[in-house]
């Protein structure tokens, strides 16, 4: 099995899961700055020219959510509840909520503060971050309310929904995301970081 990745939040979910489940895979970093994902051989695998991409025998799969589900099925892990339809619905609700509401609310802070610094893309655009703060307040309140009395987002245990929702929010302090007023959300994020594979997901460097 091969997994193509870059140092960014969607591949981070997949790399953390690979490590957490002890899956054997060849992890191949792509040079995003050199445009490696725009090359024809990579584009043939992933026409979006993004990471992650998984190749498992004849299966070529992109979208980190689908890749996480595939890895769980292959490893027999209930982080994706393949044999429990009601739990699947519960996890799917949060995966969809992430992609439609939570990620778009927090991605400006993640991009402006984390990605720009990582890839040397210049100064953060304060206005871009300020423009998202109303949405952050709205959706952080939803997640915080849900996490009151819960340690995980779905099914009362760790699932791929936790990795999905936390992949940008894990950087909330460095990214200045205004999440301090949401104690249950902060407790959940601080709890996840005690999972070794979540705290250190990268094959080639320490830290989150
Ligand atoms: N929805 C996709 C997102 C893929 C994506 O946007 N990947 C980003 C990194 S988080 C990427 O490859 N960016 C590099 C680029 O756009 O050139 C997934 O979950 O896999």
**Cα–ligand 1 centroid distance for 9 (angstroms):** 8
CB atoms within 10 A of CB 156: 11
Ligand 1 pocket by Cβ (under 6 Å): 6, 8-10, 32, 37, 50-52, 63-65
Give the domains, in start order, of the chain with CATH numbers: 2-75 (3.40.30.10), 85-199 (1.20.1050.10)
Ligand 1 mutation target, pool 48, 51, 65, 170, most atoms within 8 A of CB: 51
Of 204, 52, 180, 174, whose CA–CA distance to 114 is shortest? 174
CA angle 2-53-21, nearest 5°?
60
Alpha carbon distance 199, 37 (integer Å): 26
Q: Which residues pair with 2 in a beta bridge?
A: 26, 55
Per-residue pLDDT for the chain (208 aa), expressed as one digit of tens each?
999 999 999 999 999 999 999 999 999 999 999 999 999 999 999 999 999 999 999 999 999 999 999 999 999 999 999 999 999 999 999 999 999 999 999 999 999 999 999 999 999 999 999 999 999 999 999 999 999 999 999 999 999 999 999 999 999 999 999 999 999 999 999 999 999 999 999 998 999 9
């Amino acid at each position: 099995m091969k997994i193509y990745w870059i140092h960014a939040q969607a591949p981070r979910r997949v790399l953390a899961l690979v490590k957490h489940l002890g899956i054997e895979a060849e992890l191949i970093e792509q040079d995003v700055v050199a445009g490696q994902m725009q090359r024809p051989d990579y584009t043939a695998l992933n026409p979006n020219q993004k990471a992650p991409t998984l190749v498992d025998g004849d299966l070529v799969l992109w979208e980190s959510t689908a890749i996480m589900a595939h890895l769980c099925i292959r490893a027999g892990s209930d982080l994706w509840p393949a044999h429990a339809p009601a739990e699947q619905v519960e996890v799917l609700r949060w995966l969809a909520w992430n992609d439609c509401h939570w990620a778009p609310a927090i991605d400006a802070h993640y991009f402006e503060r984390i990605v720009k610094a990582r890839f040397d893309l210049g100064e953060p655009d304060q206005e871009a971050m300020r423009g998202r703060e109303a949405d952050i307040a709205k959706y952080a309140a939803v997640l915080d309310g849900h996490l009151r009395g819960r340690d995980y987002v779905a099914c009362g245990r760790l699932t791929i929904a936790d990795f999905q929702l936390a992949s940008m929010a894990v950087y909330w302090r460095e990214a200045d995301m205004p999440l301090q007023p949401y104690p249950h959300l902060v407790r959940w994020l601080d709890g996840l970081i005690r999972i070794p594979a979540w705290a250190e997901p990268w094959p080639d460097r320490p830290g989150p």
